[in-house]
Structure 1
Amino acid sequence: MPQCGLRMNNVSFLKQWGKKYGIGIIVGLLLSVGFLVMDADRWISVHTLNQKTAKYTVVIDSGHGGVDPGKIGVDGVYEKDINLAIAKQLQKVLERNNCQVIMTREADQGLYEESDTNKKRADMAKRVSIMNGCDADVVVSIHQNSYTDATSRGAQVFYQATSESGKQLAAKIQETLKRDVAPDNRRQIKANADYYLLKNTTSTMVIVECGFLSNLQEAKQLQEAEYQKKVAQAIGMGVLYYLGESGETKQRKEDSNGDENTAGQSGAVWR
């Protein structure tokens, strides 16, 4: 499967070609075969020599929804609404970069039946079913954070404690969030052994906490369309960098003898 993210170490190679043959010629050549895609005000690198087959499958999970609002911000904003807005922007970024995107939800709805007595459990089980049923290369679950300390702020990416591929994906996304959204963000990726989705999803997965709704300033930013787009672009870039550097993700996962922890539900923390 061709890569939808250009390897970072190919940049020096392109520079050498540019010096030898002229940057205009090289850019024209790359555009002709689909290496570069313009996304807003920046170039996003993609590797799409074969447009029909150059696709990774990415599941975007917009946390909460329906009767479950998620965190409620200090100004009354619902986490579920911000999650969905950012998820839709992320979908655009990845689809423009030749990735097949599967959304767990596309409206304000939970993934449960009205007859379910435990809607939260039913909702989470359905999300896992979607994630595991499509053999995804990457799963990204979008969430917002909250804390008793109103000064807490900054995006943070979580991954399953036993997943090396999840750790690598988390590192790429944390890096691009810091670079493109908040250079002063000192938060680091964090392993977690209890989150239900991380424990029960077999694909490489991360949970992205995009910011703190308990911080008034950050809560307001997270409700702004342009800021949501910036966050989504940063997450998308991290995903593309990971895919570009990990090579054939499915094959690597098969060779790893199952590094993902698919433990049962006991002790699970809903997220």
Structure 2
Amino acid sequence: MKKKAGVILLMAVLAAVMLICHSAGQRLLEGVKKTSETSGRAGRMSDQLVVLDPGHGGMDCGKQGVNGIEEKEVNLKISLQIKEILKKENIDVVLTREDDDRLADTQRADLEERVSIMNTLKPDLAVSIHQNSYSDAGVKGAQVFYYEGSEAGEEAAGAVQEKLNQIDPKKAREVKANSTYYILKNADVPVIIAECGFLSNPEEAELLAEEEYQRTVAEAVASGVVLWLNGK
């Protein structure tokens, strides 16, 4: 009888210990999550953070090139390469998406979620990667947008535009202010939109479909980001 009572007591003690450990673990996880949401820097390797935002995804393919390529795919491939380059520069990077899924069921909710990530993590800079399109197939060249009135945004856009223009000076364009694009308007951090080329231009669409050219674009964007971060 005493032996049975001892076993029951031991089981009760073990159950109590497990409950305490589970509770402590939950509190620890909640604490880590809260810290991360508050600062966006918990557990990171440097004091510089960049959020990369590959535009579109999932059922939202974005623009479609004259050669059939989809913007969402080009955006992601370039963003992943930018991430790789920046991490080698000891810069922390978070992507809003790393696969072919958008972040919400509707386009509006998707954009809201992207902005929420930026505003929660509070990066030094957010860079949204896109491809352009226009009714005139002859128009080409990368162009960087920033929120009108944002000095930091304008400077960051200028640094990235400078590097993109060096890919082919004959296609050089100038940065452009905007006050209506949702991400530019609603992000609380410096943010730029890099339209890396025109999928409506046959020559540029073919280039953007090539892995080597995607790497060239990624290196230019990353180089501009590093230039701006170092000059802050």
TM-score class, shorter-chain normalisation, is: 0.7 to 0.9
**Is the Cα–Cα contact under 8 Å of residues 45 and 90 in structure 2 kept in the other structure?**
no
Structure 1 distance, partners of 2:214, 2:51, is 18
Give me the TM-score of the superposition, normalised by structure 1.
0.68
Match in the other structure for 1:191: 177
Match in the other structure for 1:109: 101
- Structure 1 counterpart of 2:111, from 124, 129, 138: 124
Instruction: After TM superposition, give the deviation of residue 185 of structure 1 in Å.
Output: 2.1
How much is the aligned-residue C-alpha RMSD, in angstroms?
A: 1.1
Q: Deviations over 1:29-85 (max 9, x none)?
A: xxxxxxxxxxxxxxxxxxxxxxx8643100000000001000011111110000000
- 1:65 matched to 2:39? The reply is no
Please state whether the residue corresponding to 1:69 is helix, strand or coil. coil
- Structure 2 counterpart of 1:76, from 68, 71, 78: 68
Match in the other structure for 2:213: 227
Match in the other structure for 2:83: 91
Structure 2 distance, partners of 1:68, 1:54, is 34
Match in the other structure for 1:152: 139
The list of structure 1 runs, each at least 4 consecutive aligned residues, that deviate by more than 4 angstroms after superposition, is: none
Q: Indicate the percent of aligned positions where both proteins have the same amino acid.
A: 49
**Is the Cα–Cα contact under 8 Å of residues 73 and 213 in structure 1 kept in the other structure?**
yes
Q: Which amino acid aligns with 1:195?
A: Y
Structure 1 distance, partners of 2:203, 2:47, is 38
Match in the other structure for 1:139: 126
Q: Which amino acid aligns with 1:138?
A: L
Please state whether the residue corresponding to 1:172 is helix, strand or coil. helix
Structure 2 distance, partners of 1:88, 1:201, is 22
Unaligned ranges ≥5, structure 1: 1-51, 247-271
- 1:177 matched to 2:164? The reply is yes
Q: Which amino acid aligns with 1:149?
A: D
* Matched pairs, number: 189
Structure 1 distance, partners of 2:199, 2:68, is 9
**Is the Cα–Cα contact under 8 Å of residues 142 and 172 in structure 2 kept in the other structure?**
no
Q: Deviations over 1:224-250 (max 9, x none)?
A: 11100010001001000101111xxxx
Unaligned ranges ≥5, structure 2: 1-43
Instruction: After TM superposition, give the deviation of residue 109 of structure 1 in Å.
Output: 0.4
Match in the other structure for 2:229: 243
Distance 1:53 1:64, change over 3 A: closer
Structure 2 distance, partners of 1:81, 1:53, is 29
Structure 1 distance, partners of 2:140, 2:131, is 11
Instruction: After TM superposition, give the deviation of residue 186 of structure 1 in Å.
Output: 2.8
Match in the other structure for 1:213: 199
Q: Could you say which structure has the larger radius of gyration?
A: 2
**Is the Cα–Cα contact under 8 Å of residues 147 and 177 in structure 2 kept in the other structure?**
yes
Instruction: After TM superposition, give the deviation of residue 122 of structure 1 in Å.
Output: 1.0
**Is the Cα–Cα contact under 8 Å of residues 55 and 98 in structure 1 kept in the other structure?**
no
Give me the TM-score of the superposition, normalised by structure 2.
0.80
